[in-house]
Structure formats: C-alpha cells, structure tokens
A and B are shown apart, each in its own frame.
Chain A
Amino acid sequence: MPDDTMTADAVVVGAGPAGAAAALELARAGRNVVLVERGAYPGAKNVYGGVVYGRILDEVVPQWWTEVPVQRWVTRRATMVMTPTQALTVDYRTSAWDHSPYNGMTIYRGDFDTWLAGKAVAAGAQLVTSTVVTALLRDAAGRVTGVRTDRPGGDIHAKVVIACDGVNSFLAKEAGLLPRTSPEHTTLGVKEILALPREVIDERFGLVGDEGLDIEMLGCTSGIPGGGFLYTNLDTVSVGVVVGLTGLAAAKTRPEELIARVKAHPGVAPYLRGAELKEYSAHLIPEGGYRAMPRLAIDGMLVAGDAASMCLAAGLWLEGVNFAIGAGLAAGQTAAEAIAAGDTSARGLAGYRRRMEASFVLADHKRYRNAADIVLADRMQREYPGLICDFVEQVFTVTNPTPKIGMIREFFRAVRRNHVQLRSLARDGWRALRAFR
C-alpha cells in the first residue's frame, strides 16, 4: 500500500446536495471528513429541472435566502394537461411565496452545488474535486473500510463511507444493494436552457422583479410515460421532458425531438419565440421511490440521496434536491454519532433509517409510494389528457344555434370519443385518490 494513502473519520462520495449535507454535519460534529467529487467543481456533472424547495436549508444556514445564488422565487405554479393541439392549464399564484422563507426557487446546479459544498468546507470538510471513487475498500469480514480513487496512491481509509454518488451509484451496486440496471424504475431527463432578455421573460410570464414561474406538463411526451417542464430563470428559461427509459427505448423517438415537440406546442411556443439555446443537457432520475429503495446502512457504509432512490417523482412533484439534503444531513449526523460511540457497524448506523422515518424523507416517500405508478400509467398518459381537454373544449365551445347539451352529456361524449372505458376510469380515479391521500 503506498504511503500517501489518506485516513479520515469519514469519506463522503459525491459533492451533490446529499454529499455536501452529509459532509457538513460531520464537519460540524468536529469529525475529519473528506468529500470526494469527480467533477472539476461541485455541480459540473449535475443536471436537474430547476426548482429547489428550500425549507430544509433552515438546517444548513439560518436565513439562507439572503445568500443563496437564486435565479427567481417561484410565486406561480401551473400544471398543463395537453394533447398535440390542446392545453388545459391550472395556474396558481400566491404572494405567500414571494417573501421569506419562500416555497421554491429556480437556481442553476453549478451555482447551488458549489454554494452548498462551500458550507461544508467552511465547517471544516476537505473537498477533493476532479477525483473519481473507483471502488470500495473492505476488510476480510466484508465491512467497508474506505474507498479507492483514480489518483495514484489515492486510497482513503475511513470509519464510515457515505455513498452520495447519485442515480448510477456504482458504490451501492458494488456493495450489492442495487441491481446493475433498472430501466423500469429510471427516467431520462433532457433539458434545454434558452436565453431570453429578462424583461421579455417578465412580460411573457406575467412576472415582476424576482418572481418566477414553474410549469409541469402532462400529455406532452407523445405517449411515452413521462412529462414536461418549463421553469423561468432570470434571463433564461429551462424547458425539458422526463421520460421512462423502457418507454423511450420502445418508442424509438429521439429525446431532443421530444423537447422540440414541447417547444412547438401551441400552448408553449409563444412563450419561447426568439429564444436562443444556451445549453443542452441530460441526466437520469431514479423514480422507483419507496419500493425501490435499497438497504440504507451496511457495515461501514450509508447510502443517501439519488443513490438510494430518494427522489420523489410523482408527476406533480419532482423533488430530489430537498430529499437528498434531508437524507445527507441525517446520514452525516448518524455517522458522527456512530464514530463517537465507536460502532460503525450496520447496527451502529441503524439510527439513520429511524431518523429519516421520523422526517419528511421517508414519511413522504411512504405516503406517495404508489403515486408514480398512477401518473406514469398508460391511460393517464395516453387517454386522460385527451379526455380532459376534449371535455373542456366542448364546455367552452359555443354551439349556437344548436342548443347546449349539458355538462354530463358532454362528459360522456368525451369519454366515448377518447375510447375511455368508464370502468377503468372509475377504478383509476379511486386508485389515484388512494395514492395521493
């Protein structure tokens, strides 16, 4: 073994939101912690849609909103149900979200991840960038004792390893906690960042000052299970789609073509006129949720964030950053206590799961464990957007001189026209009520 191997109390792999939060808690507890990131800086490898729900940051810095490198504060949240030619939008706006502590903010990952990792460094964590963790180190009994990196002599020995290495987590796979592939539980997000002058964004989206808008879209992915999104930044707009890998592969449609269709939709195109492409990007999302979560603690290792499938993706929600931070904080606290108590075995680390069951991280996941199934189900994707749009179109269409036929008959007509089975509609409605209760 080369002499320049490092020893630390803990090593955290991945300086995304989960890793930065875990390293922060360990450093605060006075532990010697190394935070390893393969990108040249935190965020260099990371892509998301664009909204961070910040309340969990209260546990990171008081009054975080005065310093976080925000783009816009989301004060308007809309859901669009679409067919290729129709769109019904439910649009909600509140002034409750335009002042601290706010609800959601648009922010770039390069800015956010760098800011959050900076908090860990300020607390005393050692951040090592441009370094890939390539394997786990284990002792004869199989317990995890550190990591191997791609630096010469770059082994790091530690009492605890916290795997925060994101959706592909090769560490959780190496430890046998996750299957090598799971396309049925994984979605691909592709996104464009499109530049528009700030005043144009304000005008087109009805925003003032640093207000922002977040639109979620259903029925815009050409029948492939998934959805779309549009978020306003200061002088750019993020537009993208999220689609299931199995469905995408079967559809033989190119991902960028799906974004092009959203951008060309009559309900979206006028917002984006003249916008210029600044960055195209792609990233996977673990959507398996509660039922796909691996074991969270083994001897010498914890798993947090996307690596443990903790992204809450249930159609109306795409929340991963706040869950990753919540899990990272819990992992860091648990690891610090276990190190202090001298027991970093799976049993010594078991408090991690208990902590998260008591917090939103596992409570929300448990509550909504069936929600993604409902939203990604075939009928929800292919039949119901058309049914809803058709019904609304008939209700709003003035048919003079033919008399109106009434809402109920309009509804049953729309049901027939869209070849929806009433029995499945009733069953799905019931299941949806249960899944989102």
Chain B
Amino acid sequence: MHYPEVSFDERMATVEFRVGERAHITVDSDVCRSCTTKDCVHACPAGLFVPTTDGGILFNYEQCFECGTCYQVCNAEGAITWTYPAGGDGVVFRKG
C-alpha cells in the first residue's frame, strides 16, 4: 500500500513561522565550497541548504525549526553561524 506523499512545500506550509528581520543563521558559502560531505543538505529537516552549481550553499533562514541539526553535523569550522531568532520570532509549533 502506498499513498501519495504531500510535496515538500505543502509539508512546510503546515508549520507557522513568524519570520524575523535578522537572519538568525548564516552560512559562509566560501567555506562550503571546500566541503566534501555537504551533510547539511540531507540532514536539515527543513531542507534549507541548497547546493549551488559553483559548489557552495544557498541558505535561507526563514522556514527554520531552530533544531540545531545543521551546526551539529557540519564539520567545517566557521561555515555556520547559529543563533536563536529574536524572542517570539521564528517557528511556532501549534501542537508539538
């Protein structure tokens, strides 16, 4: 038995994000260019790390769960700068 899965965009649309002005996570694409594993691309549950054709990473902080997976799996010093969004901003789990 196989049921059609919702698309990734529909999946993310079930989550409420109060997007703050400040990017609470930033990624230094220059560091990423020399990264051979790119573990963040697969592991980030929100799918926010997108590889670019020049071997770097395009990152958008807006739909982030603030889980911490990315900085935990990234093995390149300085690639990811990770902070929490300002108080009240960011993900709002309605059920959790």
Known contacts A280-B11, A281-B65, A284-B68; decide if A252 and B94 are in contact (CB<8 Å).
no
Binds B, one of A38-46, A288-296, A331-339, A398-406: A38-46
Counting CB contacts under 8 A, is A368 at the interface? no
Cβ contact within 8 Å between B15 and A132: no
Is B21 located at the chain interface by the 8 A CB criterion? Answer: no
Could you say which of B18, B43, B46 has the most chain A C-beta atoms within 10 Å of its C-beta? B43
Q: Does A73 make an interface contact (CB < 8 A)?
A: no
**How far apart are the CA atoms of A151 and B86 in the complex, in Å?**
9
Question: Which residues of chain B (42-63) have a CB below 8 Å from chain A?
Answer: 42-43, 45-47
Residues of B with C-beta under 8 A to A43: 93, 96
Check if B8 sits within 8 Å of A256, measured CB to CB.
Answer: yes
Q: For the complex, is A48 an interface residue (Cβ under 8 Å from B)?
A: yes
Contact flags A53-97 to B (C-beta < 8 A → 1, else 0) = 000000000000000000000000000000000000000000000
Cβ of A167 < 8 Å from any Cβ of B? Answer: yes
Q: Which of B1-29 contact A (CB under 8 A)?
A: 1-3, 5-6, 8, 10-12, 14-15, 18
Interface contact A44-B93, CB-CB below 8 Å: yes
What is the total number of residues of chain B having a CB less than 8 Å from a CB of chain A?
39
* A279 in complex: contacting residue of B3, B85, B95, CB < 8 Å: B95
Question: Which of A258-266, A345-353, A359-367, A420-428 participates in binding chain B?
Answer: A258-266
Output the least CB separation between B79 and chain A (Å): 12
Which among A1-9, A210-218, A270-278, A376-384 touches the partner chain?
Answer: A270-278
- Interface residues in A, total, Cβ within 8 A: 55
Q: Which of B3, B47, B73 makes the CB contact (< 8 A) with A254?
A: B47
A186, B72: Cβ atoms under 8 Å?
Answer: yes
Q: How far is it, in angstroms, between the C-alpha of A282 and the C-alpha of B88 when the chains are bound? A: 18
Give B73 Cβ to nearest chain A Cβ, in Å: 4
Considering the chains assembled together, what is the distance between the CA atoms of A251 and B39 in angstroms? 9
* A150 with B87, Cβ < 8 A, contacts A249-B37, A277-B14 known: yes
**Which residues of A sit under 8 angstroms from B46, Cβ to Cβ?**
282
* Chain A hits for B95, CB < 8 A: 108-110, 193, 236, 278-279, 281
Q: Are B15 and A279 in contact (CB under 8 A)?
A: yes
Q: Is B67 an interface residue, CB under 8 A from the partner?
A: yes
User: Would you give the shortest CB distance from B1 to chain A, in whole angstroms?
Assistant: 4
A394, B5: Cα distance in complex, Å: 34
Judged by a CB distance under 8 angstroms, whether B31 is at the interface is: no
B95 to chain A, nearest CB (A): 4
Residues of A within 8 Å of B72, CB to CB, are 181-183, 186, 245, 284
- The answer to whether A109 and B93 touch (CB under 8 A), given A38-B84, A248-B42, is yes
By the criterion CB–CB under 8 Å, are B45 and A150 in contact?
no
Docked CA distance A255–B88 (Å): 26
Report whether A282 and B14 are in contact in the complex, using a CB–CB cutoff of 8 Å: no
Is A282 within 8 A of B94, CB to CB? no
Q: Are A269 and B93 neighbours in the complex by a CB distance under 8 Å? A: no
Q: With an 8 A cutoff between CB atoms, is A413 at the interface? A: no
Q: For the complex, is B69 an interface residue (Cβ under 8 Å from A)?
A: yes
A279 touches B94 (CB 8 A): yes
Q: List 10 A-B contacts (CB under 8 A).
A: A38-B87, A44-B96, A131-B88, A132-B87, A249-B37, A249-B43, A263-B3, A264-B2, A279-B93, A280-B14
Interface residues of B (CB under 8 A from A): 1-3, 5-6, 8, 10-12, 14-15, 18, 37, 39, 42-43, 45-47, 65-69, 71-73, 84-88, 90-96
Which residues from chain A sit less than 8 Å from chain B, CB to CB?
38-40, 43-48, 108-110, 129-132, 149-151, 167-168, 181-183, 186, 188, 190, 193, 236, 245-246, 248-249, 251-256, 260, 263-264, 266, 269-270, 272-273, 277-284
The 6 closest A-B pairs by CB, nearest first: A130-B88, A109-B96, A282-B45, A249-B39, A130-B87, A269-B1
12 extra interface residue pairs, beta carbon distance < 8 Å, beyond A40-B88, A245-B69 = A39-B88, A39-B92, A45-B90, A109-B93, A130-B87, A132-B87, A188-B43, A245-B43, A249-B43, A266-B1, A281-B15, A282-B69
